[in-house]
Structure 1
């Protein structure tokens, strides 16, 4: 496409010139060199290399039209045009790179926000359930989350998930079917009860696959379409791709209400988030098992993001002396971290280290955070960080050789 436009656009400009000014189609002697607009447009769209290719078409056209006048080659005409095309192409490349980086940052923030929203609603729902229905339920939401957190992918994990949904959401008959390339597999990964045979053309299933959201029978009834399922809920990873589908065909009448459907949706979301966390954090946790999975997961994801887009992130390691740790300063400092930050408390023999991972942060972000801690300690205890036995160490992710060397460096700070 780039090559085609680099050839067609200047050729079109030459054709227009030949139609209106056959004696000077490139406008070499004109008051304004209109022919150079074609390479400039190509350079704006695709960068300097494509612009140079389009300029080469103009050069070849002049040579072809003036084979017997090579001694009259318009050097200034082509030199000025090439300089203009290079400048325009350079600015185009710069802003396209900035645009890609901004889109990558926005995509990461959207993922992070979705993850935080799921956690927020899940915690709120857990609190309400524990207060109102702890006695009437076979298990509490806290137990459900604990069970989900330890699950892994595959048939065993899906079967345990189904049993958990049956106990907590009163599901009588359901099945989990894998999805590959947006195509539902007929063979179920896990079942409970006696689920009906799969109908790939079922309208409720098609709606759930298309919208990537939980759909229930009332929605199909409103659209006057017959369905054999009561609920179709996709299992989405953090990237929004469907890798399995929960199909429920038997559920008590009073259980088909918004609160129970929201519970199903949130438990599925927590389960899929846990699978993504385990997959990304597993290599790090094998080497450093004491590291929290959430910290390892976020560190791995930010490192991959830095590798692809060069977006920076930074870890601030706060080293506490034994005296500072005994005065409970680490726990007080943990309350000052930002909402999006992940933390890891590392206890050594003579010191304690708090590693705070700051997504999308650089040296100035770390300096601002350390300055805030300095103001807090000055206001509360009328002393400085160093005098209180606290030593900050900014560790940019870009300066490390990967997530594992970063974790090892944090452990060395705690156990040096």
Structure 2
């Protein structure tokens, strides 16, 4: 009984998942009404569509299609039902049940409209959740990097003269502006120095497939076998794999570690293959350090690549701020979830009291900031993700209360003026240009 219930639950659960392939949707739109009519023929051959029945069961098929795919699919299912009636009543078209089909079409269109509305809301919520998950993963990575750096400061290992701070500073200097081969070689040398790699290769990944010819190498590696179990597993899972996993699953691998270079968005840039390293270095802490350094580097690549159009127009804009602007503009364009920028303009008397630095400490955790220094004034731009004018007004009210408590003066008397600028989905650079012009007015 329990097994039958599980099987039924699995079949019913499939009704809540829609196929994105048009061919599958068309097949469902054709077969579901036909199956319903066939059941009607089996149950009551004289009235298979249930025109005279107490309940129009045949309309369940178009209603289900409208719920799953929207009004167009439901309308297509209704057309199939209409064609079935015409095929079963050749020569009796004068008896066409107008009220039966009119009521069914109205029901299908209402259900389809309801489905379209909630599908749009679901897509919007999924996009926002994906953005928040990426930010959370970024914070987790930063937390682990900070913890590792703290451990290094405590232990001061003789075999690792480089600190985590030095390693991250070196990674920040590498980017897409460098030649790919030179950048890959510098990255590999840094990993070898910090994680004690002896023989390793770095390969480019194109369309989720690794290129056999390495971009960079250290030691004397052998040609890489792309069908090796660890290489295949790393590309499929997008996670670091090591020899212990291969041995646990009774597979033979030629390599000790295979790690994909994947950013927060899931894009794979390259593949690190470690052939040889000291035995005592193949431990959990070193693997975690290697994975985090690769993730930090690839995150920097994605940030600089996406932020490049903004930085070319506004060279003073920080890369993190430009990246977040581009990403939030894309979210606003695809899901219509807005974001807003609060630009705080500081007059010379406010700058002299160091109010920009003090207010900067009051920003929210998810906000990105850009302090623009002009010849006479400064402008602090605060990017507030997934917020609107109400969010901006709430923040301005908070710092207004802070100013009253600290100096007994409102922001305007202290020389601080707030500007609320919605982040446009189409041309975010224009909004940033307006903010920069405030500082140089």
Identify the match of residue 77 of structure 1 among 91, 100, 105.
Answer: 100
Quote the offset at 1:84 in angstroms: 0.9
The whole-number CA distance in structure 1 between the counterparts of 2:31 and 2:233 is 43
Instruction: Point out where structure 2 has 5 or more consecutive residues left out of the alignment.
Output: 1-23
Q: What corresponds to 1:212 in structure 2?
A: 238
Counterparts of residues 286-301 of structure 1 (less than 5 Å): 286-301=312-327
SS in structure 1 opposite 2:269? strand
Quote the offset at 1:286 in angstroms: 1.4
Q: Deviations over 1:108-144 (max 9, x none)?
A: 1112211221122112322332454287644332222
**Maintained 8 Å contact 1:134/1:140:** no
The whole-number CA distance in structure 2 between the counterparts of 1:151 and 1:34 is 65
Counterparts of residues 218-229 of structure 1 (less than 5 Å): 218-229=244-255
**Maintained 8 Å contact 1:344/1:354:** yes
More displaced 10-residue stretch of structure 1: 151-160 or 223-232: 223-232
**TM-score, structure 1 as length reference:** 0.93
Q: What corresponds to 2:373 in structure 1?
A: 347
More displaced 10-residue stretch of structure 1: 174-183 or 87-96: 174-183
Q: What corresponds to 2:437 in structure 1?
A: 412
More displaced 10-residue stretch of structure 1: 75-84 or 237-246: 237-246
More displaced 10-residue stretch of structure 1: 8-17 or 168-177: 8-17
**Maintained 8 Å contact 2:333/2:426:** no
Q: What corresponds to 1:333 in structure 2?
A: 359
Q: What corresponds to 2:301 in structure 1?
A: 275
Quote the offset at 1:296 in angstroms: 0.6
SS in structure 1 opposite 2:344? strand
Identify the match of residue 264 of structure 2 among 212, 229, 238.
Answer: 238
Q: What corresponds to 2:284 in structure 1?
A: 258
Quote the offset at 1:341 in angstroms: 1.1
The total of aligned residue pairs comes to: 415
More displaced 10-residue stretch of structure 1: 22-31 or 126-135: 126-135
The whole-number CA distance in structure 1 between the counterparts of 2:262 and 2:156 is 28
Q: What corresponds to 2:109 in structure 1?
A: 86
The whole-number CA distance in structure 2 between the counterparts of 1:146 and 1:241 is 23
The whole-number CA distance in structure 1 between the counterparts of 2:292 and 2:402 is 38
Q: Deviations over 1:225-280 (max 9, x none)?
A: 44332222211122223331111222223322322222211111111111111111
Q: What corresponds to 1:402 in structure 2?
A: 427
Quote the offset at 1:298 in angstroms: 0.9
**TM-score, structure 2 as length reference:** 0.88
The whole-number CA distance in structure 1 between the counterparts of 2:252 and 2:107 is 64
Q: Deviations over 1:277-305 (max 9, x none)?
A: 11111121111111101101111111122
Instruction: Point out where structure 1 has 5 or more consecutive residues left out of the alignment.
Output: none
**1:371 and 2:397 aligned:** yes
Q: What corresponds to 1:54 in structure 2?
A: 77
SS in structure 1 opposite 2:409? coil
**Maintained 8 Å contact 1:317/1:410:** yes
More displaced 10-residue stretch of structure 1: 153-162 or 253-262: 253-262
**Maintained 8 Å contact 2:329/2:426:** no
The whole-number CA distance in structure 2 between the counterparts of 1:397 and 1:390 is 21
Q: What CA RMSD, in Å, does the superposition of the two structures yield over aligned residues?
A: 2.1
